[in-house]
Every structure is written in C-alpha cells, then in structure tokens.
Amino acid sequence: MIMMGGWWLISGIAAIFENAFYAVTPNWILKFDVSTWSWVHLIIGIIVLVAGFDLSSAKTWARTVGVITAVIASLVSFAWLPYYPVWAVIYIAVSVAIIWALTMHGHDITEA
C-alpha cells in the first residue's frame, strides 16, 4: 500500500506541475480536466500512503480503510484507462492484490 500510495502521489504531483503531462483523448464518457485528475490522484495517494503506514504499525482500522481505498483506487484507475492504459491496468492489478492481501488471514491460506 505504501508503494501504491507513492505511485498515486507521483502521478498527482506530475500533473499538478505539468498540465500537458497527461494525454487527453476525445470521445470518452468519463472525461475530466487534467487538474481534476491530478488532485484526485494526489488525494488518493495521501490516503493510501497513510493507511499503508498505519497498517504496518498494526492498526486494525487501517485494514478496513485499506480495502475501501483500494476499491476506490481501482474504480478511479478504470476511469483513468483512456489516459494511460498500461499504468491504469497496473494500478487495478495492484489494487486487487491489496484487497486480497487485506481480506485474507493467515489461517485461511494454510487451510487452502
């Protein structure tokens, strides 16, 4: 989660400082302004990063926040597909891995 939060932060900061960073394509249903995407990425990055640090310090609420933010991050990544499809697919895959890791418990894996 810390790594993914860092990715989201870098994506958000890059778009804030350089508006032409994202390639805007026409004719998409979920078309947002580049500055909107930059702030969405920055906010999600901060939330995922904080939840990742709190998860590493064994805080129980961080697991729930981590699952919720991973679901939101995967939905945002799906909407981000027209802009950067490769990175969006990577974000979705990492979000699914985070959801799986946070919802599985150690004894569930050993029983399987």
Of the two residues 105 and 45, the one the predictor is more confident about is 45
In a domain, 24, yes or no: no
pLDDT at 56 over 60: yes
Reported as a single tens digit per residue, the pLDDT across 66-111 is 889 889 888 888 877 877 788 889 989 999 998 998 888 655 555 5
In the structure encoding, which two tokens stand for residue 23, read together? 């390639």
**Pairwise CA distance, residues 98 & 89, whole Å:** 14
> Which of 72-89 are b and which e, b meaning 16 or more Cβ less than 10 Å from the residue's Cβ?
ebbebbebbbbbbeeebe
Total domains in the chain come to 1
* Nearest alpha-carbon partner for 22 in 32, 30, 6, 93: 32
Q: What is the mean pLDDT of residues 36-51?
A: 80
* Mean pLDDT across the chain: 77
In a domain, 99, yes or no: yes
* Nearest alpha-carbon partner for 69 in 49, 86, 89, 85: 49
Structural domain containing residue 79: 2-16+32-111
